[in-house]
Amino acid sequence: MADTIGSAELNAVKTPIFREVKKGEVRKHIITLTVRNELGVLARIATLIAGKGYNIEDLSVGETHEKGISRMTLEVIGDDVVIDQVVKQLRKLIDTIKVKDLTDTPHVERELALIKVHTATPRARDEVLRLVEIFRCRIVDVSPETYSVEITGTEDKVNAFIELVRPFGIKEMARTGKVAMKRESIPQEEE
């Protein structure tokens, strides 16, 4: 069935150039939110992200210097385009005051971990103490069998420490999830 309209131009028809749907890169995104500390605000945010089919890799929440205002840092792995959509949707929530994707902005990231390490032998105690020194962590609890170590730093630093003490045997461990903040100064060497 030929189209009679503009059939003269049929010969001059260009090959259709279909609109490309841009697929974003899949990577880790660090999102910070300032929110009103209302009932259910955490559930609201978690529901929204889960509703888009993403898992929150890690999350930390705490009150800020302003009363009733909390700050959250969360990490999500996902497609850039979809995460941009998630950020926009998060901004729409009535309880959110500010939402920022810090991924491509210079920022400081910190995480706290408490690690209880088996240190039953003198050799283990010496070695762990030395690692604590090198990593500039603190021992916050001691028993005849264990050291409990507090470590703060970037995810890489915390991971590196964990790998080094793992051979001694980790009895228990707790991590806070990251907190992050935009850098005001030019990017500098991690201290």
Partner 1 sequence: MLRKGADIVIQTLKEEGVEIVFGHPGGAIMEVYDALYRDGGIRHILARHEQGAGHMAEGYAKATGKVGVAMSTSGPGATNLVTAIADAYMDSVPVVFITGQVPTHLIGNDAFQEVDIVGITRPITKHNFLVKGIEELPLAIRQAFYIARTGRPGPVLVDIPKDITQKLSDVSIPSLEELKESLPGYRPHLEGNLQQIRKAVRLIMEAKRPVLYVGGGAVQAEAQKELVELAELMKIPVATTNMGKGAFPELHPLALHMLGMHGTYYANMAVYNCDLLIAVGARFDDRVTGKVEEFAPQAKIIHIDIDPASISKNIVVDVPIVGDVKIVLRKLLEEIKREGAKLYFPEERQKWLERIEGWKKKHPLTYRKSNTVIKPQYVIEQIYEATKGDAIISTGVGQHQMWSAMFYKYSFPRQFINSGGLGTMGFGFPAGIGAKLGRPDKEVFVIDGDGSFMMTMQELITAVQYKVPVKVAIINNGYLGMVRQWQELFYERRYSEVDLSIQPDFVKLAEACGAVGFRAEKPSEVREIIEEALKIQDRPVIMDFHVDREENVLPMVPAGKSYRDMILEDGKKAVEAETMYLVG
Question: Which residues of the shown chain bind partner 1 in the complex (CB under 8 A)?
Answer: 1-6, 9-10, 13-14, 16-22, 35-36, 39-40, 43-44, 47-48, 51, 81, 84-85, 88-89, 91-98
For partner 1, give the closer residue by CB, 48 or 173: 48
Tell me 185's DSSP state: S
Distance CA 179, CA 31 (A): 10
Report, in Å, the least distance between residue 153 CB and partner 1: 32
Q: Judge whether 36 and 44 are in contact, CB under 8 Å.
A: no
At 129, give phi and psi (nearest 5°).
Answer: -60, -40
Per-position DSSP letters for 90-146, written without gaps between them:
HHHSTTEEEEEE-TTS-EEEEEEEEEEEE--SHHHHHHHHHHHHHTT-EEEEE-SSE
Handedness of CA 53, 91, 179, 28 (dihedral sign): positive
For partner 1, give the closer residue by CB, 2 or 186: 2
Report, in Å, the least distance between residue 6 CB and partner 1: 6
For partner 1, give the closer residue by CB, 93 or 139: 93
Distance CA 67, CA 81 (A): 34
At 113, give phi and psi (nearest 5°).
Answer: -135, 145
For partner 1, give the closer residue by CB, 86 or 117: 86
Distance CA 149, CA 160 (A): 14
For partner 1, give the closer residue by CB, 69 or 170: 69
Report, in Å, the least distance between residue 88 CB and partner 1: 4
Report, in Å, the least distance between residue 118 CB and partner 1: 41
Report, in Å, the least distance between residue 5 CB and partner 1: 4
